[in-house]
Amino acid sequence: MIASFLSQHGQYHDDRYFRDITTIRMGGHIRHFVLPNTVDDVREIISFLKHNKIQFKVIGNGSNLICGESEFDGVVMCLKNLDSYEIQNDEVYVEAGVLAPVLANVLAKQGLSCLEFASGIPGCLGGLIYMNAGAYKGSMADVVKEVLVLKDDELVWMSNEEMKFSYRHSVLHDHPHWVVIAARLKLVRKPSEVIEELMADRLSRRRQTQPLDKPSAGSCFRNPDDGYAWKLIDGIGYRGYAINDVSVSEKHSNFIVNNGSGKADEYLQIAYEIQDKVKEKYGIKLVMEVEKFNC
């Protein structure tokens, strides 16, 4: 019944693993995986799942997820097919499945500024909005005008203020079954060459300072107030620390990387050890930025 319904509303698969769809390349089998083709498909699927009390998880590019090795006996719905955008004067309407680097480059070529800070973040717009992603002192809270959210089976435009953005947080964390469908972002006109030069400089800095050559889920921990997580991790001697095929990056110690066949429980063991030792030595509780699922 589930497979038949999902097949009518998107691209359905029963042979997907979390390791196939997350940037850390870890995780077990997914019983049902679907990519809805339209916003109406998303509404129909979620209504069906809620009515039948079926567990589900909505994802984008899987760039901020650590998923367990056991089978998830529910539905994973990926929004990457919701990938349209439309520039409207000083705004852009963008669906949740558009990759941030793709949109940033399109806007840059047209002399439109707003997403330079996100040009190196390998996530979809829905995920960036969910966690108020940021870099280089910029964040989604700075550029979002309003967000189209599917909540309680209704599509509702929510203002920037209603999203309750804060550091790596939005109102969506308090309502896990609300789904970002699209957003309007505020644009500023600048010369294309200025935008592209800034983005190229930041990409170069990322390549020099982050382990982009290995699977990761991005920064493992949020930065504490008035400090940097990587400095605390260095302070407890965990740069390069490894459990089997999972290790703290030698290049940037706030990244935990998969060196081949790493498992989620190994990743989490390292993360929990870091939290305990930082708390013991510095009295600071590091908060994980990475989202855990099915762990």
181-206 residue pLDDT tens: 999 999 999 999 999 999 999 999 99
Query: pLDDT class for 180, splitting at 50, 70, 90?
Result: very high
Query: pLDDT class for 58, splitting at 50, 70, 90?
Result: very high
Tell me the H-state helices in 27-84: 39-51
Q: Boundaries of CATH 3.30.465.10 in the chain?
A: 85-194
163-178 residue pLDDT tens: 999 999 999 999 988 9
Q: Which two tokens stand for residue 115?
A: 């997403």
Can you give the pTM of this predicted structure? Answer: 0.94
Q: Boundaries of CATH 3.30.43.10 in the chain?
A: 2-78
Is residue 256 predicted with pLDDT exceeding 90? yes
- Nearest 5 degrees, angle CA 278-CA 139-CA 259? 50
Better-scored residue on pLDDT, 137 or 264: 264
- Kindly state the average pLDDT of the residues 285-293: 96
- Kindly state the average pLDDT of the residues 65-85: 97
268-283 residue pLDDT tens: 999 999 999 999 999 9
Position 198 scores a pLDDT of 95
Q: Boundaries of CATH 3.90.78.10 in the chain?
A: 213-293
- Kindly state the average pLDDT of the residues 48-64: 96
Cβ–Cβ under 8 Å, residues 96 and 180: yes
CATH number of 213-293: 3.90.78.10
Enumerate the active-site residues.
Answer: 168, 219, 289
Measured CA distances, 159 to 145, 165, 213, 271, 286 (Å): 6, 11, 38, 35, 30
Is residue 153 predicted with pLDDT exceeding 90? no
Q: Which CATH class is domain 85-194?
A: alpha beta
Fold held by 2-78: 3.30.43
